Amino acid sequence: MSQTEAAGARPAIPALDDPQPLKAALWMTGAIASFSSMAVAGRQVSLSMDTFELMTWRSVVGVLIVLTVALVRRRSGDIHVRRMGLHLIRNIAHFTGQNLWFLAITLIPLAQVFALEFTSPLWVALLAPLLLNERLTRTRALSAATGFLGILIVARPNPAHLDPGILAAATAAVCFALTAIFTKRLTRTEPVISILFWLTTMQAIFGVICALAKDGALALPDAGTGPWLVLIGCAGLLAHFCLTTALSLAPASIVIPFDFARLPVIAVVGMLLYHEPLDIFVFLGAALIFVANFVNIRAETRASVQR
């Protein structure tokens, strides 16, 4: 799964009578480590596989994990064939976004990819009024505008030459936002285990079709790529388990700042492993994106309390 979905989006802001920020922070260290591991593993696998092949085998690992969890917890009966049209739309959006994300981490510095990915909640705020009939508040609009300014600082687009890596990462964030919105619609009627099963199953099928359409071949995992693919599959699920647990222990306004700690962590990882420079503009732009997200979350928290 992607950084922005465990079922596609940040979980709903919980109402907490006894917040435990220290425990939440500890769970977030697990999420940060998992997200960073997935990025490094994705870059390593990209040396031998294209993104379609990577997504195929990552999804196969996901299917095995989801089915194992369903059987162990005796929840296999929760896997339904209802609302398959919405599952299909959601998983096409996520498959597109995840492929673009894995492409982006091979083209631009990891910190830049993560900074642009953090704009996904802002795209949710903008798209939700169109797809979920939610109201576009002044705070959401101002947050989106601030986040867009952060995007410009991170990307520093050149009209004469649009960087394909920047375009891939930015488009991936929009796709993840669409995934989040469609996930929200699915969770109204569908169990999470069913959503995850169809996510991994459909994406495995999409990956095979696209890989064969590209060059008529599907690379098989070997001793070099197999462990990285298992790491990608496990890290994605573990990251979102840690994030969801953290949000059950403390409000989103406390947890999300910890999530943004991924940026300096992955920047250091990129510098140490791939000699990527520490770009001050990436951090400045990410700071604006963080402020935009934080203001929006605070406003949503207050609104939910008042309701």
Which of 118-127, 164-173, 243-252 holds the top average pLDDT? 164-173
Q: Return all residues near 274 (Cβ < 8 A) that are at least 6 apart.
A: 43, 109, 110
2-17 pLDDT, tens digit each: 444 443 444 444 445 5
* Mean predicted confidence (pLDDT) in 18-30: 84
Per-residue pLDDT, 21: 79
292-303 pLDDT, tens digit each: 988 888 877 776
Task: Return the domain boundaries, the chain.
Answer: 21-306
Whether the predicted model's global pTM rises above the 0.75 cut: yes
Per-residue pLDDT, 17: 54
73-89 pLDDT, tens digit each: 998 899 988 899 999 99
What whole-number distance in Å separates Cα of residue 279 and Cα of residue 109? Answer: 9
Work out whether the CA dihedral 88, 92, 94, 98 comes out positive or negative. positive
Structure tokens at 177: 């936002």
